[in-house]
Amino acid sequence: MVVRPEEPGDVAAIHAVHVAAFPTDVEARLVDALRVAGRLDVSLVAEDGGRVVGHIAFSPVTVGEATCGLGLAPVAVVPVAQRQGIGGLLVRHGLAAAARVGAGFVVVLGHVEYYPRFGFRRASEVGLGNEYGADEAFMVVELRPGALPAAGGLVRYAPEFAAFG
């Protein structure tokens, strides 16, 4: 299994991964829209035997007027390759890549039993809210000490999310 940055030739395969992994094509279209808008700050694929079997995307989030973090969404693995640790591999590599591009923190709206293993905790504990009214499922991990907004605030995802919400 190889995890690597997205390359131009991966676009169709990434789209297909999301279409296969989710009940609708919404996530696939979201990734396409983020790419077109130049908002895929981190986009990694998992490749097995030369075939793209997973993808993870991170796009900028804002708190107030500051863009200081990234949102993890979406992450997908083709059904035949699920439950083999590929999603976790993508998350770990993705968080490392997010730190390398200078993100101070990452937020995710996801499964409360899954993401804490990567260091995520409930974002409301540090005063962060979100546009979707989620509490327990909205989580944050600090990548750089002191990067979380001291006053907390409302985390807003890239505008492309609103088009597919």
165 — pLDDT class (breaks 50, 70, 90): low
- Output the pLDDT for position 26: 96
Helix (H) or strand (E) holding 92: helix 86-100
Identify the CA nearest to 111 among candidates 77, 136, 128.
Answer: 136
Count up the domains in the chain and report the number.
Answer: 1
Q: How far apart are CA 124 and CA 130, in angstroms?
A: 9
Range of the domain at 157: 2-164
Give the sign of the dihedral formed by CA 130, CA 102, CA 116, CA 60. Answer: positive
- Output the pLDDT for position 163: 87
Average pLDDT score over the chain: 96
Q: Specify the amino acid at residue 94.
A: G
Residue 4 CB neighbours (<10 A): 12
Q: How far apart are CA 98 and CA 37, in angstroms?
A: 18
Please give the model's pTM, rounded to 2 decimal places: 0.96
Most confident of 47-51, 67-71, 149-153: 47-51
- pLDDT tens readout for residues 51-92: 999 999 999 999 987 768 999 999 999 999 999 999 999 999
CATH number at residue 105: 3.40.630.30
